[in-house]
Amino acid sequence: MEKLIVHGGCRLRGSVKIGGSKNASLPILAASLLTPDTVKIRHVPDVSDTNYMLQILNSLGASVERSSGTVRIDSMDGISASASYDQVRKMRASICLLGPLMARLHRCTLPLPGGCVIGDRPVDLHIRAMQALGAQVRNSGGNLYLEAPNGLVGTTVDMRGENGPTVLGTDNLMMAAVLAKGVTVIESAAREPEVVDLANFLNKMGAKIEGAGTRRITIIGVDQLTGCDHTVIPDRIEAGTFMVAAAMMGDGVTLRCICQEHLESVSALLTECGHHLEFNNRGDVVTITPAHSPRSGKIVTAPYPGFPTDMQAQMTALFALTPGISVVKETIFPQRFMHCSELKRMGANIKVDNGAAVITGVERLSGAPVMASDLRASAALVLAALAAEGVTEIHRLYHIDRGYERIDEKLQDLGAAIKRAADSESGD
């Protein structure tokens, strides 16, 4: 195991290139199973989640080649319909294999993904979507068994869940429907940019999808899909994380390869808190200058285009050092506050109750040994460590490696005093 050692107090300056979106890459990689032709996907981040997905595709019989952010996949005839538990258990997003396997093979055996530390994330909506298209589903021995002997048939499916639309559920249904007979209409579809990117990828393959990015997506089934060449969108959560880092400890930090449109809610909040953001005309570069007198803020997480749940932990780290009282209300995963106890170890003043955190800004944080509990919580700890006095050790580094490509190297390039080291005390 590894840990991060951060010497706080260094000012960040310079520029950094934002990588491809992890959350867009995963379903796009899974969708490569929909065709026997060659698919080339560019700007795929080198993170553990995408590596796990490529391993799963390889275990299913696909030929996978990876070089410098570009992945080439050939899913020729003979693809297996059964994934192994050893691979699936490492990544909940493996559930997005349901759609492409059912579309192409009309059958699928998939071990149920493991639990998630940020709360219950049921797969009921994914199963309901497959059943709506005609799949027979049974759950036995920890495995999902699905089959549709006569193929999938289009219909209208409402994908609204208890806490709003489901992104991966929308992805799964869209991938299953592209080869189904007839027309499928997805009501209450997720509007996230990652859903739009998947739709664009599928349309390049010959699918007929309209409405991605709205609450209603219409898919006209086709007989077959072909290979294509696609570039994944920038990772808006990585970009948001570096924007917060620049607001906390920046001295003129520029982010390249971003998409301004995807960052509107985060940009609006940072501006509201007094920080200055300057985008170029194309909206693919932004320079962040910290506020001289930062102001407190309020977050209510919501599905896109609302404030993303994947950014609330990072903003909590910023609010910990912002004068006044800030409030974070989590409506997607009400239990997603495990980072707060670790921030309090560093001196933050945070009270968590009933799905909300009230943060009273303090003058300083102190370095301390802390433990990452999930992907975005670990990013919040890195941000706090950059601004803290003294040295912070962040254990369970594997959490942050799930979704941030070379985050330590990118921060080093900006002037941070941060390094990896072997971790003999992680307990893992």
Give strand ranges (E) for 320-395.
325-329, 349-353, 356-360, 369-371, 391-395
Averaged over 174-178, what is the pLDDT? 98
The helix (H) or strand (E) run that includes residue 67 is strand 63-67
Report DSSP letters for 269-312, one per residue: HHHHTT-EEEE-TTSSEEEEE--SS----EEEB-STTSB-GGGH
Query: Distance between CA atoms of 363 and 366, rounded to whole angstroms?
Result: 10
pLDDT digits (tens, 9 = 90+) for 263-287: 999 999 999 999 999 999 999 999 9
Averaged over 370-385, what is the pLDDT? 95
More confident residue, 27 or 425: 27
The helix (H) or strand (E) run that includes residue 251 is strand 250-256
Are 119 and 95 in contact by the 8 Å Cβ rule? The answer is no
Confidence of residue 340 (pLDDT cuts 50, 70, 90): very high
Query: Distance between CA atoms of 153 and 151, rounded to whole angstroms?
Result: 7
State the pLDDT at residue 116.
47
Q: Of the residues 96, 116, 257, 259, which is catalytic?
A: 116
Q: Is 116 a catalytic residue?
A: yes
CB half-sphere exposure, 217, CA atoms < 13 A: 35
Averaged over 174-180, what is the pLDDT? 98
Mean pLDDT, the chain, integer: 94
Averaged over 187-199, what is the pLDDT? 98
pLDDT digits (tens, 9 = 90+) for 65-114: 999 899 999 999 899 999 988 878 778 789 999 999 999 999 999 988 75
| Neighbouring residues of 2: CB distance < 8 A, sequence distance ≥ 6 | 397, 398, 420, 421, 422, 423
Chain centre to alpha carbon of residue 176: 21
Average the pLDDT over each of 38-42, 89-93, 166-170, 183-187 and give the range with the smallest value.
Answer: 89-93
State the pLDDT at residue 416.
98
Nearest CA-CA partner of 194 in 235, 241, 240, 239: 235
State the pLDDT at residue 115.
45
Is 428's pLDDT higher than 70?
A: no
Q: What percent of the chain has pLDDT over 90?
A: 88
The phi, psi pair for 158, rounded to 5°, reads: -95, 125
Is 208's pLDDT higher than 60?
A: yes
Structure tokens at 288: 């962040």
pTM of the model: 0.96
State the pLDDT at residue 271.
98
State the pLDDT at residue 395.
96
State the pLDDT at residue 121.
58
Q: Note the residue count of the chain.
A: 428
